[in-house]
Structure 1
């Protein structure tokens, strides 16, 4: 993992700007999770804490991600921490959020966290994606989905698209979705499928994972053929992007899960759909 900047490494102008927005910083605690920021910190203030992440402004990709996280926040506050400040100065862009004193979700069988993420999915499925120029799901799927089927994934839903355990925090009795680096417009049940893949990755059978999301109203709207194509595309995506053993255990486990889910759908539903070649 690349070494990140610490509080003391930030230019004085940046630290002063943060304290002007947030208050006096008593302690800055570095955070190791996440890979797409130059700095991630928990700032301890005199009477509060804030989570801060940011990057240098000479990195266009990270700047886009931070910009998307900032503009989507008002739409997702009930299931995501509220943005406290946004600063761009001295060659840095930083975002500060209310601190959620939580932990990573446990997706394993029997986990009490699972009903919480299902509740979060139900809330999110009711939200239409704001017209803010976010990526469209069909465009994101085009390399591994037959072109004639891409229309199936168009829609007006707001999607997170990456509910891996590091991006779901359990706190205050609910599941918060964090790291909205790539909010996407598309068919509203797609995030439920992404959570099902996480469940399979963490030890559920494909049948059990599908049962967990089965009562979501948005999942009941998904036609069988579209689900078949989505699962086949998921298998093609993960095996296409990571064709060999990867040093990241989560990636390896997800590749295996995608294969199990696709095999299950072929065995139980007679699906012959395959994702498009890259």
Structure 2
């Protein structure tokens, strides 16, 4: 959906911002997103910052408050940008340090991404913030599994291997995904910035408590989409992340199937830019599922054939 621009922020909030950071010289809004909230790089006569803001009564407001709580508890040298200023007067306004850099190129920078995730394994294991478990109602994994169950119950024409998918989802247990660590839960390339100091993760709105292997697992299909074979993507995770071996096989099977069927259900819904991204990702998720469940027709040494 289209985002609000900087001009939509109420004048009192803009005045308070300028009192703190200086007169605004220019603003650049990020492209459309999953919420209408402001997401803008703001250049003032003192510095450059990144601003997220949304009306306090918006249905998306709780995710902004979650980001605020996480930022307050984040270690000084954590993997996220620093939160510089907050206002909650009608609009929730979060002002973050600006990260000079670019979104990661996963095919070329997978090891740098993993270094950030391994660092998180240590620094975020005991962050003092109350968060739901990733399997709680409404959280990332619960949403994926619920979508998978709906698709399995009423499969679209042409969906193969429904019985295998059903067994994969049924076999997984909630405690397979138990963990006390703070996990990002949405490690998309759009949420990872390559900087001179390494990869930093932004947009912690879906963060939750879970096992430390879940973020690397959520990167397997994006790695396949970037050019890895499914076997190479899992080997990368096993080689670089100390906790990958702790992931139960049935949990990885269920996660792979759930992500595939979530995309299957949502493939043509939402804005066109979002549907396009889901269509591009679908074949990579199918490749991962085929690899894990043994249903692949063509898995090559370099990549997965879309033919």
Distance, in Å, in 1 between the alignment partners of 2:293 and 2:271 is 26
Residues 188-227 of structure 1 show CA distances to partners (whole Å, capped at 9, x for unaligned) of 2010101112111222211111122112101122233332
1:70 matched residue in structure 2: 68
1:225 matched residue in structure 2: 250
Deviation at 1:106, TM superposition (A): 1.0
Structure 1 residue corresponding to 2:287, chosen from 260, 266, 278: 260
Structure 1 residue corresponding to 2:212, chosen from 170, 177, 188: 188
Aligned residues: 263
Distance, in Å, in 1 between the alignment partners of 2:105 and 2:42 is 26
Paired residues for 1:50-199 under 5 Å:
50-59=49-58, 61-73=59-71, 74-75=73-74, 78-89=78-89, 91-108=90-107, 111=108, 113-126=109-122, 127-128=124-125, 130=127, 132-139=129-136, 140-141=141-142, 142-143=145-146, 144=148, 145-146=169-170, 149-199=173-223
> Is residue 38 of structure 2 the alignment partner of residue 46 of structure 1?
no
Residues 90-134 of structure 1 show CA distances to partners (whole Å, capped at 9, x for unaligned) of x211100000011111123xx1x2111010110112222646442
Query: What's the secondary structure of 1:44's corresponding residue?
Result: strand
Distance, in Å, in 1 between the alignment partners of 2:271 and 2:10 is 37
- Unpaired stretches in structure 2, ≥5 consecutive residues: 149-168, 297-307
CA contact (8 A) 1:246 1:252 kept: no
Deviation at 1:173, TM superposition (A): 4.1
- Unpaired stretches in structure 1, ≥5 consecutive residues: 270-278
Distance, in Å, in 1 between the alignment partners of 2:271 and 2:9 is 34
The structure-2 alpha-carbon separation of the partners of 1:129 and 1:64, relative to structure 1 and needing over 3 Å to count, comes to: farther
The structure-2 alpha-carbon separation of the partners of 1:218 and 1:33, relative to structure 1 and needing over 3 Å to count, comes to: farther
The structure-2 alpha-carbon separation of the partners of 1:181 and 1:245, relative to structure 1 and needing over 3 Å to count, comes to: closer
| TM-score with structure 2 setting the length | 0.77
The structure-2 alpha-carbon separation of the partners of 1:240 and 1:31, relative to structure 1 and needing over 3 Å to count, comes to: closer
Distance, in Å, in 2 between the alignment partners of 1:186 and 1:46 is 42
Deviation at 1:137, TM superposition (A): 1.7
Distance, in Å, in 2 between the alignment partners of 1:75 and 1:173 is 17
Distance, in Å, in 1 between the alignment partners of 2:8 and 2:249 is 53
CA contact (8 A) 1:116 1:173 kept: no
CA RMSD of aligned residues (A): 2.5
1:238 matched residue in structure 2: 263
Deviation at 1:147, TM superposition (A): 7.6
CA contact (8 A) 1:135 1:182 kept: no
Deviation at 1:71, TM superposition (A): 1.1
2:151 matched residue in structure 1: none
Distance, in Å, in 2 between the alignment partners of 1:219 and 1:19 is 46
Distance, in Å, in 1 between the alignment partners of 2:266 and 2:222 is 17
Distance, in Å, in 1 between the alignment partners of 2:227 and 2:268 is 22
Distance, in Å, in 1 between the alignment partners of 2:170 and 2:267 is 20
The structure-2 alpha-carbon separation of the partners of 1:241 and 1:32, relative to structure 1 and needing over 3 Å to count, comes to: closer
Distance, in Å, in 2 between the alignment partners of 1:80 and 1:231 is 27
Distance, in Å, in 2 between the alignment partners of 1:176 and 1:92 is 26
